[in-house]
Amino acid sequence: MRAGIEEILNQPGLSNEVRERVADLLQQTRRLNSVAENLLLLSRADTGRLALRASEFDLVELLKGSLEDARILGAGSNLQIEARIPDPLPINGDREMISLTVQNLVENAVKYNRPGGKILVSAAKHDHVVEICVGNNGPEIPPERAPHVFERFYRARGNEQTPGHGLGLSIARELARAHGGDLTLARSQADWTEFCLRLSASSVHL
């Protein structure tokens, strides 16, 4: 479908109105593709078929890339991006999957932040655990909704106008657990919400 729509979009002579409608169809197709890929990933996790390709790499490089993504995504909201990351931070895990986990956290921090708010990405070593925390100035997640934030399709702070499908946190936690760690809501009070990703010694070289 995507290839067919792209072929139509590249045809000469399309009016602006038609081109806009076709471009919208292409965007919708990409969103459907993203949902399908996410559901397949969760299905593999459910059945224990989530294969990880472990390798050793420096987590600092990955986190810096996520910070740059946050600056781009939050450019229109005048967000303040801060980092507290030790250098180096070697880790042994699936780079693509860990990147997807951090990406989901950072995108949420941008999406649910307030204009002019702050995003803080921090990382630290604690005994045999590497902990990565992503915090933002978004609205508080109500206490009665907090236990459900990792449920699939659940949106604790979203509304119909907020992009997304309520799968990001579910995927992030499944990927964390596949690495022998976990993802938790560390706190959500007043003007600060923070999620923390922990990767255990089974996937981290200290």
pLDDT in tens, 99-141: 989 999 999 999 999 999 999 999 998 877 889 999 999 888 9
pLDDT in tens, 14-65: 888 888 888 888 877 776 776 677 677 777 777 777 778 888 888 999 999 9
Tokens 């986190």 appear where?
63
pLDDT in tens, 59-92: 999 999 999 988 888 888 999 999 999 888 888 8
**Which residues make beta-bridge pairs with 195?**
134, 185
95 and 55 Cβ atoms separated by less than 8 Å: yes
Q: What is the rounded distance in angstroms from the CA atom of residue 29 to the CA atom of residue 2?
A: 6
> What pTM does this model have?
0.76
Is residue 190 scored above 90 in pLDDT? Answer: no
- From 192, 133, 148, 166, select the one nearest 34 (Cα to Cα): 166
Look up residue 44 and give its amino acid: R
CA atoms within 13 A on the CB side of 1: 11
Tokens 């655990």 appear where?
129
